[in-house]
Copies of this chain bind each other. A is one copy, B any other.
Amino acid sequence: MAATATLLISCPDRPGLVARTSTFLAERNANIVHADQHTDAEAGLFLQRIEFELDGLDADALGPDFAPIGDELDMEWSLHLPRRQRLAILSSKEPHCLLDLIGRQQMGELAGEIAVVVSNHPDHKLLALGAGIPFRHLPVTPETRDEQEEAVLAVADEFRVDLVVLARYMQVLSDRLVDGLPGRTINIHHSFLPAFAGARPYHQAHVRGVKLIGATAHYVTSDLDEGPIIEQDVVRVSHRDSVDVLRRKGRDLEKVVLARAVRHHLEHRVIVYGNKTVVFD
């Protein structure tokens, strides 16, 4: 496979946009591998993802060359050259999502590498170190929350992190932390949002007597469980399933839903606009 770059664009809709971007690439003799676009008619918004081979191109000149087009057409755009992105995973006591992501890294599934595992509990230390990943134990109490969040930010900085993944991290993040983390932060919530937001969603699902349970991966915003949804899935349950069985069935969902969202993000397939996402899959 030739190395590829990805261009993500969102801008006010108007005729000729596809021609402008594709002509820009054709002039450089770039081969487009995937191109996908979406027009949100209500919002009057054009969104596009173009992935193209870098073979024979001057990669460093692409951004500066495209900038005037972006300016002219009022685009928000980003150009992603091939680079292994660096992830920080925040976890607490439940290991299944962390284990799953480590396994995927070892299978070569992730277009990125786990640079560090951060936890408010010591439980996952051996798991991380056994996989050759640095581990930082940053315990937190209501009194020490500010300091602990400062420490989390410092770790993200130290490890030059591109993406933070909350892999069942059971702490609410302050606005300051959400804003301070580099790039976007992805969380996995163990329900089909917006149903059962907040604490103990499997208990809530059991009490309500739903016939399916779900999991939702979303970008973190200052509104808890209200950020843009990247991926969701569900599994059938029955009256026979205790809360413990819901938890077990839910773990299989959480792992897959979180991994899909992380992969979509790492492959530059997601554009956020308003409180929604476009996932070019």
Q: How far is the CA of A158 from the CA of B43 in the complex (A)?
A: 46
Among the listed B107, B196, B211, B230, which residue makes an inter-chain contact with A194, where contact means beta carbons less than 8 Å apart? B196
CB proximity to B under 8 Å, residues A14-39: 14-20, 22-23, 25-26, 29-39
Distance to closest chain B CB from A36 (angstroms):
6
Q: Does A239 contact B (CB under 8 A)?
A: yes
User: Which residue of B has the minimal Cβ distance to A217?
Assistant: B211
- Tell whether A256 pairs with B251 under 8 Å between CB atoms, given A15-B30, A192-B212, A195-B195: no
User: Which residue of B has the minimal Cβ distance to A31?
Assistant: B15
Contacts of A279 in B (CB 8 A): 211, 238-239
Cβ A25 vs Cβ B31 within 8 A: no
User: Which residue of B has the minimal Cβ distance to A1?
Assistant: B41
Distance to closest chain B CB from A94 (angstroms):
9
Contacts of A252 in B (CB 8 A): 256, 259
Among the listed B14, B231, B248, B275, which residue makes an inter-chain contact with A211, where contact means beta carbons less than 8 Å apart? B231
Q: Does A125 contact B (CB under 8 A)?
A: no
CB proximity to B under 8 Å, residues A184-225: 192-196, 208-212, 214
Q: How far is the CA of A109 from the CA of B14 in the complex (A)?
A: 29
Q: How far is the CA of A251 from the CA of B104 in the complex (A)?
A: 10
Distance to closest chain B CB from A6 (angstroms):
15
Cβ A234 vs Cβ B231 within 8 A: no
A interface bracket (residues with beta carbon within 8 Å of B): 35 or more
Cβ B35 vs Cβ A35 within 8 A: yes
Distance to closest chain B CB from A54 (angstroms):
12
Contacts of A277 in B (CB 8 A): 209, 239
Cβ B26 vs Cβ A32 within 8 A: no
Contacts of A212 in B (CB 8 A): 192, 214, 232-234
Among the listed B35, B103, B192, which residue makes an inter-chain contact with A192, where contact means beta carbons less than 8 Å apart? B192
Over the window 153-197 of chain A, the binary record of Cβ atoms lying under 8 Å from chain B Cβ atoms (1 yes, 0 no) is: 000000000000000000000000000000000000000111110
Q: How far is the CA of A90 from the CA of B252 in the complex (A)?
A: 23
Q: Does A134 contact B (CB under 8 A)?
A: no
Q: Does A228 contact B (CB under 8 A)?
A: yes
- Tell whether A229 pairs with B248 under 8 Å between CB atoms, given A16-B29, A195-B195, A239-B278: no
17 A-B residue pairs with CB within 8 Å = A14-B31, A15-B25, A15-B30, A16-B26, A16-B29, A18-B22, A18-B32, A19-B23, A35-B36, A35-B37, A194-B210, A195-B195, A208-B275, A210-B229, A211-B231, A212-B214, A238-B279
